[in-house]
């Protein structure tokens, strides 16, 4: 799909839910069959619209975690305890249900092989979801673009896509670093603190490598990471961010 | 009857707050942040605001000169295209009318431009007539960098991406042209009451 896509209208689609896969206690992937789906770029999201029997509607945005070339579109959703839409998607929705959505949305926070690399991905919590689409696409294309993922989660149980990331990170030019912000077990060999400048200096390539960088997570996380990267000499113009507030749904 | 999401009940709002909430929006008490890249930090001593483009003599203000202009307090509901709305946000800033006072121009549009390279396009009529400000205070405090400080454009009647953070000037244009998000598929005008989120809405 060409980057300079024609400006086309984003119509609502009625997707069929093929599966709802529990990824962690709080996050689920919803696998969808979307008739007439125009295809997407890694990093894009969809708007989901729920309608109650009396016509009341609620909309939220969710990242696509599947690669563009996969036959099915998957969104991965973290349940917010006081959320209006996310608990429905993670706990109520089941195979055979239909889900109204439109997309793909966002042509800025996207990566494909033409964007080159090296590729630096930094995720906080469910911010890993759009980055996963990029890693899945990179793997599907057997891309040689070197890639590094630094992923911050509360604890090991909250790491979304954990086994797949372990597999993808074994050879193939992808290095995966995890950091756990709650006290990890004594045998944990990864990082065990919030992402800071020292950790970023460890993980990032030197500025002269001109990495393309994508940062996604809660606002304070993204602020800290993006500012630290700029302070380390990384080109601000090559850092793309996507943030979500604590008050989503 | 149209499509119904099986098992969805939702959380309706009744009365005044539902009337103040455009379709597809939900109310938040926080102040989420959305921006495309790292937060820029321009020292106030280097900060200027410029009006350029279709104007005989470009106008320019330093930070001190902007502060010397008459400021207004503005309370408004704001609506972000990412679906959150926030009611009764309290700002202080200078009306764009004050900056454009006496300007003769054939322009019908403006491009707001910001530190970090962000741009957004608006009709001139939407930033005049008491509908747009250069805001430098939020809730009685200097506007924080992550919310667009030291100065952001405030155009509360349009989706909030039109209220450019870190704004440094307006370019007056005869013809409309897409800004940053508009070039990536977002709506050229962005009226939340007509749910103009994306191109073609």
Residue of chain B whose Cα is closest to the Cα of A49: B24
Tell me which residues of chain A, numbers 129 to 158, contact chain B at a CB-CB cutoff of 8 Å: none
> Over the stretch B73-83, which tens digit does the pLDDT of each residue have?
999 999 999 99
How many beta-carbon pairs below 8 A join chains A and B? 126
Which residue of B1, B10, B34, B149 is the best one to mutate when testing the A interface, meaning the one whose CB has the most A CBs within 10 A? B10
For A66-88, what is the HEC assignment? CCCCCCCEEEEEECCCCCCCHHH
Residue position matching structure tokens 């910001």: B114
CA separation for the pair A244, A242 (Å, rounded): 7
For B132-192, what is the HEC assignment? CEEEEEECCEECCHHHCCCCEEECCCCCHHHCCCCEEEEEEECCCCCCHHHHCCECCCCCH
Mean pLDDT of chain B: 94
Inter-residue contact A46 to A14 (CB < 8 Å): no
Place A245 in a pLDDT band, splitting at 50, 70 and 90: low
pTM of the model: 0.92
Contact B30 A107 (CB under 8 A): no
CA–CA distance from A9 to each of A6, B37, B158, B186, B196 (Å)? 9, 26, 20, 10, 11
Q: For chain A, give me the number of helices (H) and strands (E)?
A: 5, 11
Q: What is the DSSP letter of A187?
A: T
Contact A58 B10 (CB under 8 A): yes
Using DSSP bridges, classify how beta strands B167-173 and B48-53 pair: parallel, antiparallel or unpaired.
parallel
Contact B199 A223 (CB under 8 A): no
> Over the stretch B127-157, which tens digit does the pLDDT of each residue have?
999 999 999 999 999 999 989 999 999 999 9
CA angle A137, A64, A142 (to 5 degrees): 5
Inter-residue contact B21 to B13 (CB < 8 Å): yes
Structure tokens at A107: 């042509």
Burial bucket for residue A192 (CB in 10 Å: 0-12, 13-18, 19+): middle
Contact A227 B200 (CB under 8 A): no
CA separation for the pair A230, B145 (Å, rounded): 15
ipTM, two decimals: 0.89
Sign of CA pseudo-dihedral B49, B51, B53, B56: negative
Place B24 in a pLDDT band, splitting at 50, 70 and 90: very high
Inter-residue contact B12 to A47 (CB < 8 Å): no
Contact list in B for residue A7 (CB cut-off 8 A) is 185, 199-200
Q: Which of B10, B36, B181 sits opposite A240 (nearest CB)?
A: B36
Q: Which residues of B touch A (CB under 8 A)?
A: 2-12, 23-26, 28-40, 82-84, 116-117, 146, 180-181, 184-185, 197-201
Check residue A7 and give its pLDDT.
54
Q: What is the DSSP letter of A113?
A: G
Place A248 in a pLDDT band, splitting at 50, 70 and 90: very low
């Amino acid at each position: 799909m060409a980057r300079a896509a024609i400006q086309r209208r984003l119509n609502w689609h009625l997707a069929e839910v093929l599966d709802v896969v529990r990824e962690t206690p709080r996050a689920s992937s919803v696998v969808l069959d979307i008739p007439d789906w125009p295809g997407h770029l890694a990093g894009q999201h969809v708007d989901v619209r729920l309608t109650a029997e009396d016509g009341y509607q609620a909309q939220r945005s969710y990242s696509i975690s599947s690669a563009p070339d996969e036959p099915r579109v998957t969104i991965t959703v973290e349940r917010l305890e006081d959320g209006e839409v996310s608990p429905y998607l993670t706990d109520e929705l089941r195979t055979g249900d239909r889900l109204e959505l439109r997309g793909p949305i966002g042509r800025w926070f996207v990566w494909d092989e033409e964007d080159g690399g090296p590729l630096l991905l930094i995720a906080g919590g469910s911010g890993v979801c759009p980055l996963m689409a990029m890693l899945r696409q990179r793997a599907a294309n057997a891309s040689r673009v070197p890639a590094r993922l630094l992923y911050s989660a509360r604890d090991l149980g909250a790491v979304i896509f954990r086994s797949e990331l372990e597999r993808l990170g074994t050879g193939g030019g992808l290095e995966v670093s995890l950091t756990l912000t709650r006290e990890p077990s004594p045998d944990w060999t990864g990082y065990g603190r919030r992402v800071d400048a020292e950790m970023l200096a460890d993980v990032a390539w030197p500025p002269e490598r001109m990495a393309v960088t994508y940062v996604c997570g809660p606002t304070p996380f993204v602020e800290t990471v993006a500012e630290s990267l700029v302070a380390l000499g990384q080109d601000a113009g090559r850092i793309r961010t996507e943030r979500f507030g604590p008050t989503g749904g | 009857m149209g499509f119904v999401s099986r098992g969805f009940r939702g959380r309706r709002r009744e009365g005044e707050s539902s009337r103040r909430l455009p379709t597809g929006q939900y109310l938040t008490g926080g102040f989420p942040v959305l921006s495309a890249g790292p937060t820029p930090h321009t020292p106030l001593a280097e900060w200027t605001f410029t009006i350029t483009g279709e104007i005989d003599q470009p106008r320019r203000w330093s930070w001190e000169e902007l502060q010397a202009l008459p400021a207004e307090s503005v309370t408004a509901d704001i609506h972000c295209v990412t679906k959150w709305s926030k009611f009764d946000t309290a700002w202080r800033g200078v009306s764009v009318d004050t900056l454009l006072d006496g300007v003769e121009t054939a322009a019908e549009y403006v491009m707001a431009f910001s530190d970090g390279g962000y741009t957004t396009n608006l009709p001139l009529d939407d930033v005049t007539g008491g509908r747009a400000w250069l805001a430098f205070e939020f809730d009685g405090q200097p506007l924080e960098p992550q919310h667009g400080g030291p100065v952001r454009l405030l155009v509360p009647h349009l989706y909030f991406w039109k209220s450019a953070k870190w704004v440094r000037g307006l370019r007056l244009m005869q013809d409309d042209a897409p800004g940053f998000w508009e070039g990536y598929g977002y709506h050229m005008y962005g009226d939340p009451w007509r749910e103009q989120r994306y191109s073609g809405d």
